[in-house]
A and B are shown apart, each in its own frame.
Chain A
Amino acid sequence: MSLALVSSLACDGWIADPPLADDGGTTDTRRDEDDTEPPPPIDVGGPDDCSTPEAYFTSRLWPQVLEARCIRCHRSGGEAEEDAFALRTELEDDDFLATNFATVQRLAQEKLPSHDDRALLELKPTGTVMHGGGTAISSGGLLHRLILGFIQRVDGEPCDPDVEPPVDVPFFDGVTYASPARVLRKASLALAGRLPTTAEQDAVSAGGFEAVGTQLDAMMSEEGFVERVQEGFSDVLLTEGYTASTGELLAYENFPDRNWLYDEAYPYPVVSRDPSNIYRVGHDYNNALRREPRELVAYIVRGDRPITELLTANYAMVSPYTARGYGVFAELQDSFTDTNDPYEYIPTRLPPRRNRHGDVQESADGRYPHAGVLTTPQWLSRFQTTTTNRNRARTRTFYRQFFGVDLLALSQAVTDAADVTARFANPTMEAPDCVGCHRIMDPIAGLFQRYAAAGEFIVTPEEPWHTDMFPPGFESDEELPAEESWRSLQWLAERASGDPRFASTMAEHAFYILTQSPRIEPPIDEDDPLYARRLRASAARRDVINDAARELIANDFNIKAAFRSLVLSQLYRAEAYVGPEPDAGRSVELEAIGLWTLLTPEQLMRKFNAIFGFTMGSLDPFPYLTSSLASPTPENHYRLYGGIDRLEVTLRAATPNAAMGAVMRDVANQLSCELVPVALREGPGARVHELFPFVDENTTDEFAIRQNIASLHALILGRSASELEVSRLWRLFQEVRADGVAQIAAGSQRDRLNYACGSHPDPEYVGRAWQALFVYFVRHPEFLLQ
């Protein structure tokens, strides 16, 4: 069954509002035998009079139950694979729906005489019979009823045709899209941090969306793109949030030179040993270490290398400063252009770790077995472990960052954790409610066993690894062979990078970098009457992500292919809705369309630069927008504008608040103060982009002013103003000016600009009226949102 067919079938019909359950919602956690009674007969009707099992499977059972709930464990290689209920994903199998239908149909036909000939397909997930994942769905709930509906159809039983009308509109019905030129501008600002050039605009005018892709390919070879991808992956990986300072990041046990800058006997000092220089060197050394994971991303992107190298890179990025800390400066110094440049990075393979006793890490090839970020001190220090946590927290992070799975969220169906914990001697290996997660988590945790709490490599373990947890391996697929144990994380990386979840998660990260729109989990409240609609909305986004993942795979994991696919997707291009008045269900679906999120402080800075020609340095008056790279210190006021420090605050603010509003106002005021008077006085050509091609500081002619309003509108907001909009802004200009002139006459305002704005003569209040319009544009949603 093709994906196109999936799409058409998914639109063919939708779930009717399920009948009301008669329980109060909350149940006691201990089941008794009476709970295993099957729920009463239900309406499981479909869009037509009893749709076929195949259609019901495609439109309901698969998206709403199996894909939403079951596939997390019942996938190839999942911890539930061995019970012959392994489901295939669309990234693994083009015909996945047909394959899965056959699998599920078999379980629907398999009846248990001991349970009134009820099907295994319903008895397992409800926990009525032994299920490795415990009680995965509630008995009598929506998901259970959907399963029963499928079983009824497989059994050929009659069903009730009296159902609500199905949703029969395609998901994007009524949606209108941005023009190629607008898509180009939006993507250019988001990914390259600049406006499109005239040549690029002309190319797109002539070539349409196909040309957008071509221009985008060129933009993605620019440093602006590299910077944005670095920044985005920094949000994802969060490595810069580790708390250690300068060389303290590196375990002394492994790296005795880590504090080389303070060691007077160290043979390769930087520039001078002048004590006044130490602070700057320390600052640079600290930042150079902190940047290394970013530099890995940059190296991958610049070189069109596969993004799988985030996990599989058998090298580390080091600079002249960090190489000193790792103790490899002597062998690398000739490879650097400038050995005093803290931020010149090259890839290298480090020697195996040593401990203070001189023991050397086992290594078959004589070097440290790098596994992308996983083996970096930054990642291991940022995501620490404890003796009893046994690397499970690291594993959770691994799943979240590289497989897009929140392992803790899998456990929400557990209903009495305290009771379960007490009833089993070793709950993580015995209790069904716990095994579900631990069987996939603990093997990977075991692969990190040689890394201590803050990342120190344990060259000679004092004790063997724990036997009261599932043994090291890759989920439940395979155990780690003894001969691979010296490179256990490389072994993991090889398997993980080939897993379809990795590709889709990288595409999801690309989507976040492009739009700042965070990952959306499928709904989990099956009692929500809008559950099916929410699911359809999340599936629409998921489809776009999967398309990008396919492109990623087809292009040797070059992340640029994913960005290209995403920019050209319907979701990214969608601009408005002109369909019928949406009801509650359609409104929920429309929530997934339209990707306007607030520009991050970093993006806003770049936009200022792109449109107004401001350089970063000149924006120092706005400390709350200045992201002091990798210094999660109290001085980082940029958090006020929704930024993150990657330690305590790890999610960017999605909704503007009053504090951010104050920043917007102050920044707009300051920009208007610094830019407008100078641009008005200096005339055309004074800036990268002309703000005032039709007027100067004395112009009061309406036609000229209207022309300039339209010009500013197009420059700052990126689209032509309507006549109505120009008239409104002309009115604003007039009113501000009239009020100002009156105040000057009354003596309540000066006939000059404010002191902070240069104090130039402004007797007709023209300059300040333009400042007001400029403030309007910079505070406009079309400027501040993306």
Chain B
Amino acid sequence: MTRRLKRRQFLKLAATAGVAVSAPLVFPSRVGAEPYEGPCFAIFNAQGGWDTTMLCDPRGATDLNDHYDPSQIITRGAHRFAPTAGHVIEPSADTMTNEDFFAKYGSELLVINGIDTSVNNHTPCERYTATGKLNSTEFPTFAALVGAAKAPDAALSFMTFGGYSGTGNIIAATRVPYANSLRRLGDVDVRDNAPSAEAEAMISEALGEVARAGHSLPKLARARSFLYAAQTGAQDLSRAVPFIPDRAPEDNMKKQADIALAGFASGLAVSANLEMGRFDSHDSNDSDQLRFLPRLLSAVDYFLERAEELGIRDRVVVVVQSEMGRTPWYNDTRGKDHWSVNSQLILGPGITGNRVVGATRYDEEAGNDLAPETINPITLALDPRGIRIRPEHIHDALRRYAGIASHPLSERFDLEVSEEEQLAGLI
């Protein structure tokens, strides 16, 4: 039976049973709930479309990469990457070269190349990359889905700092722009304007009665449920405060990382969308990419180093992605436009590193470089009779890795990846 059939059956059953499949499957927060212990997912988004040939899918060909040639491509273990040492624009403590990044993390890093996003515009590509579903606006991002499936009652279950953050109405997205804001919100209950703990408990209980009474209209029932969950979940925020560093970093994505890590370390968060913009390098591609890719890698490095310091390195999963790649040629202003072939970097506990799955090639018939190769879904090796890797395949693998593939929410937002196309050994 294909997964598509299963989805239809689920929906039909739901219809027969009168189950409101559009109603929320969230419940008010349980104050003081057991901390969520992982895995925690940090999704680093390079917003705008990164140049994969400047990172993990190197070419060095004339008219494709100005700053290096094929002889300068670096191989380390299974990975091949573009050289950036000596080319980084405005190198600083907030930048990291490809050389340093792969040297430090290559042994645990999975690179996926040749991901076919089918389309090449920001809006659909962002949605597709984030949710694994191109032709629906209803689907939640993976980060939202895993948050709702793993710990819907955690106060900061799904955090977002930008980028496509659709929730599918299954969970609230929390947006805390500054660590100090979190610190300030964490002490609401102990301020002198607050009622006594006993009175607060009574007020909460009375409001809980209102929420539990629900409403005949699903949207209002959900709104009441979320509102109550937000107010009660707020009581847990103080647990994150001890994990906020005293000094905030300069780099914006590193600030996001600190807040996400405070959520993870306190057991209040399951997932976080982090975002760095300005990758849309239609003009002067190389200078833009060589300015921001090193910052992106540095932010990932900071996140992992801080996770180590907080003692949660063994339970964080990092996905580094962008919504699309860039053309295998320069335009008139030495920029590069949108390209529907992409890459991703993933690392985390239990994920075999030092691997590259998928590839791109020069397609003589079409005359284009960076065409996606097909792979055998079982062996993951290149296979001309295989399939193209698409975002739904990666999301399907992520769901199985996270242990939520059979969760009702995953069933409800079925990616419709047949068993034959599942990339079982990917993650």
Chain A residues within CB distance 8 Å of chain B: 17, 20-21, 24-26, 28-29, 386-389, 406, 408-409, 411-412, 414-419, 421-423, 521, 523-530, 574, 576-578, 581-585, 587-588, 590-591, 593-598, 624, 634, 637, 639-640, 642, 648-649, 653, 655-666, 669-670, 672-673, 728-729, 732, 735-736, 739-740, 743, 749, 754-757, 768, 771-772, 775-776, 779-781, 784-785
Contacts and interface: CB of A to CB of B under 8 A. Distances in A.
Contacts of A597: 223
A659 B234 contact: yes
Given A386-B333, A526-B135, A754-B194, 20 more contacts: A408-B121, A408-B122, A415-B119, A418-B339, A418-B372, A421-B120, A584-B14, A584-B21, A657-B173, A658-B172, A658-B174, A658-B229, A666-B185, A728-B209, A732-B203, A736-B195, A736-B203, A779-B231, A781-B211, A784-B227
Contacts of A527: 4, 416
Interface stretch (B68-76, B100-108, B214-222, B344-352): B214-222
A657 B230 contact: yes
A453 to B, nearest CB: 9
Contact of B177 (A28, A640, A663): A640
A418 B175 CA distance: 35
Contacts of A757: 192-193
B265 interface: no
B196 A658 contact: no
A728 B231 contact: no
Given A408-B124, A530-B11, A661 B233 contact: yes
B230 A409 contact: no
A202 B172 CA distance: 41
Contacts of A525: 133, 135-136, 138
A634 B16 CA distance: 51
B388 A523 contact: no
Contacts of B217: 574, 576-577, 590, 593-594
Interface in B91-116: 116
A596 B223 contact: yes
A24 B421 contact: yes
B53 interface: no
B146 to A, nearest CB: 16
Contacts of B234: 658-659, 661-662, 664-665
B12 A17 contact: yes
Interface stretch (B58-66, B306-314, B360-368, B402-410): B360-368
B151 to A, nearest CB: 12
B300 interface: no
A522 to B, nearest CB: 9
Nearest to B232: A661
B385 to A, nearest CB: 11
Contacts of B186: 662
Interface in B156-211: 156, 162, 167, 169, 172-178, 181-182, 185-186, 188-189, 191-196, 198-199, 202-203, 206-207, 209-211
Given A17-B12, A584-B15, A388 B337 contact: yes
A774 to B, nearest CB: 10
Contacts of B192: 754-757
B20 interface: yes
B379 interface: no
A423 B116 CA distance: 17
A151 to B, nearest CB: 24
B118 A664 contact: no
A595 B120 CA distance: 35
B226 A656 contact: yes
B395 interface: no
Given A24-B420, A649-B175, A587 B206 contact: no
Given A583-B18, A739-B198, A757-B193, A29 B223 contact: no
B122 A772 contact: no
Contacts of A735: 202
Contacts of B156: 657-659
A417 B12 contact: no
Contacts of A21: 4
A754 B189 CA distance: 13
Given A406-B123, A417-B340, A523-B138, A665 B188 contact: yes
B427 interface: no
A412 B134 contact: yes
A417 B231 CA distance: 46
17 contacts: A386-B333, A411-B124, A416-B116, A419-B368, A422-B363, A574-B217, A577-B217, A584-B18, A649-B175, A655-B167, A658-B268, A659-B234, A666-B193, A776-B203, A779-B203, A780-B207, A785-B223
B400 interface: no
B341 interface: yes
Which residue among B8, B203, B277 has the maximum number of chain A CB atoms within 10 Å of its CB? B203
B195 A729 contact: no
B197 to A, nearest CB: 10
A24 B21 contact: no
B195 A768 contact: yes
Contact of A418 (B207, B220, B371, B420): B371
A659 B181 contact: yes
Contacts of B150: none
Contact of A659 (B20, B176, B198, B388): B176
A422 B367 contact: yes
B29 interface: yes
A29 B118 CA distance: 8
Interface residues of B, number: 112
Nearest to B29: A658
Given A386-B282, A411-B121, A419-B368, A26 B390 contact: yes
CB-CB nearest 3 A-B residue pairs: A422-B368, A661-B230, A658-B233
A527 B136 CA distance: 10
Contact of A417 (B181, B182, B338): B338
B226 A655 contact: yes
B237 interface: yes
A729 B202 CA distance: 11
A653 B327 CA distance: 35
Nearest to B117: A417
A587 B207 contact: no
B29 to A, nearest CB: 7
Given A414-B119, A640-B176, A772 B203 contact: yes
B19 interface: yes
Contacts of B236: 658
A736 B195 CA distance: 10
A49 B195 CA distance: 67
A388 B335 contact: yes
A771 B196 CA distance: 11
B270 to A, nearest CB: 13
A588 B392 contact: no
A585 B123 contact: no
A594 B220 contact: yes
Contacts of A585: 15
A749 B14 CA distance: 53
B5 interface: yes
Contacts of B372: 418
Given A658-B234, A780-B210, A666 B188 contact: yes
Contacts of B19: 584
Contacts of B421: 24, 26
A442 to B, nearest CB: 15
Contacts of B194: 665, 669, 754
A412 B185 CA distance: 41
Contact of A25 (B18, B23, B118, B416): B416
A772 B202 contact: yes
Given A24-B416, A576-B215, A584-B21, A653 B173 contact: yes
Nearest to A648: B162
Contact of B388 (A28, A409, A574): A28
B370 interface: yes
A601 B167 CA distance: 22
B170 to A, nearest CB: 10
Contacts of B250: none
Nearest to B369: A422
